[in-house]
Amino acid sequence: MSAFLIIQAFILLGLLVTAILVISFRDLLSAAIAFAAFSLLLALEFYLLQAPDVAIAEAGIGAGLTTAIFIIAIRGTNRYEEKE
Amino acid sequence: MQMTKIVRTTADLFYPFCLTFGLYVVLHGHLSPGGGFQGGAVMATGIALLLVSRHYADITRYIRKNAMSLCEAVGLLMFIVLGLSGLVLGGSFLQNHLAGSGSWLFGSTVGPGPDPGTLATSGTVALLNLAVGIEVFGGLSIILLYMLSGLEEDTP
């Protein structure tokens, strides 16, 4: 039980770190990859909370397709965020 | 902009496994977690790998908008036809008239007791999952294709 809680605490910490990385990166490609890592950790958390159905949907849509759409959008625009 | 050779080789290596695993999730939808939507999304991820790593002009030789549009239409039509076949053969819309009928197509009977069944015991549920999988695969792939076709890149 305690091992389960420790794993869950690490995953939630990772979610926090990757979410902060997403909004602090100036390089948009890095931000997209950090968002993919966030989705993957969220899918792992769903699996630990015994919702494997939601975990597969989150891993497929969040980590796979959304990242692909972001990367295609970055290819069409600028890679680096401009300074205000 | 074309990705580096490392990205292209990795995408070429991984997309058949993505498609196979997606088809596995679709076909085992009535036994294990997952189903039509999740499996279709996994299959579309395999297509997304190819689309992201190459030029649009390069990739449309293999993946066409028309084919994906056809996938979407065939999936929807298959779902409607299966539902209506339940109405005609079983009495109500989406009636599972194949389950336990002894037919060769997903019609095996389930033994007594707590038996989760096998691949062939689901009746029309597996076929409905397959229809949803084809539909989601076509729909998500065509979203990516339209997204990519809007880019103004120099052709190779």
- Chain position carrying tokens 């899918």: A43
Chain B segment 1-40 residues within 8 A of A by beta carbon are 1, 25, 33-35, 37-38
Question: Is residue A82, in this structure, part of any structural domain at all?
Answer: no
Mean pLDDT over residues B83-107, rounded? 83
Closest CA to A46 of B38, B25, B45: B38
Residue A62 structure tokens: 């969040």
Instruction: Provide the pLDDT for residue B59.
Output: 84
Q: Using CA atoms, how far apart are residues B97 and B90, in angstroms rounded to an integer?
A: 5
Instruction: Provide the pLDDT for residue B1.
Output: 58
Mean pLDDT over residues B3-25, rounded? 91
The answer to whether the Cα torsion of B82, B87, B93, B94 is positive or negative is negative
Q: Using CA atoms, how far apart are residues A75 and A30, in angstroms rounded to an integer?
A: 13
Q: For residue range B125-141, list pLDDT tens digits in order.
A: 889 999 999 999 999 99
Question: Is residue A63, in this structure, part of any structural domain at all?
Answer: yes
Residue B59 structure tokens: 């990739």
Interface touch B151/A72, C-beta < 8 Å: yes
Q: Inform me whether the pLDDT recorded for B153 exceeds 70.
A: no
Domain coverage including residue A72? 2-76
pTM of structure: 0.87
Is B48 within 8 Å of A68 (Cβ atoms)?
Answer: yes
Mean pLDDT over residues A32-42, rounded? 94
- What domain count does chain A have? 1
In Å, how far is A39's CA from the nearest CA of chain B?
14
Is B46 within 8 Å of B109 (Cβ atoms)?
Answer: no
Interface touch A65/B151, C-beta < 8 Å: no
Question: Is residue B49, in this structure, part of any structural domain at all?
Answer: yes
Q: For residue range B17-28, list pLDDT tens digits in order.
A: 999 999 999 999
Question: Is residue B154, in this structure, part of any structural domain at all?
Answer: no
Interface touch B44/A53, C-beta < 8 Å: no
Question: Is residue B115, in this structure, part of any structural domain at all?
Answer: yes
Instruction: Provide the pLDDT for residue B155.
Output: 53
Question: Is residue B133, in this structure, part of any structural domain at all?
Answer: yes
Question: Is residue A28, in this structure, part of any structural domain at all?
Answer: yes
- Mutation choice for B interface testing from A54, A58, A67, A72 by most B CBs within 10 A: A72
Interface touch B45/A65, C-beta < 8 Å: yes
Question: Is residue B116, in this structure, part of any structural domain at all?
Answer: yes
Which range among B2-6, B71-75, B135-139, B145-149 shows the weakest confidence by mean pLDDT?
B2-6
Residue A27's SS3 state is: strand
Closest CA to B71 of B95, B47, B106, B54: B47
- What domain count does chain B have? 1
Q: What is the largest CA-CA distance in chain A?
A: 49
Instruction: Provide the pLDDT for residue B3.
Output: 77
Q: Using CA atoms, how far apart are residues A16 and B113, in angstroms rounded to an integer?
A: 47
Question: Is residue A83, in this structure, part of any structural domain at all?
Answer: no
The residue count for chain B: 156
Closest CA to B36 of B90, B75, B85, B87: B75
∠ CA(A76), CA(B63), CA(B154), 5° rounding?
35
Question: Is residue B155, in this structure, part of any structural domain at all?
Answer: no
Question: Is residue B156, in this structure, part of any structural domain at all?
Answer: no
Question: Is residue A84, in this structure, part of any structural domain at all?
Answer: no
Question: Is residue A57, in this structure, part of any structural domain at all?
Answer: yes
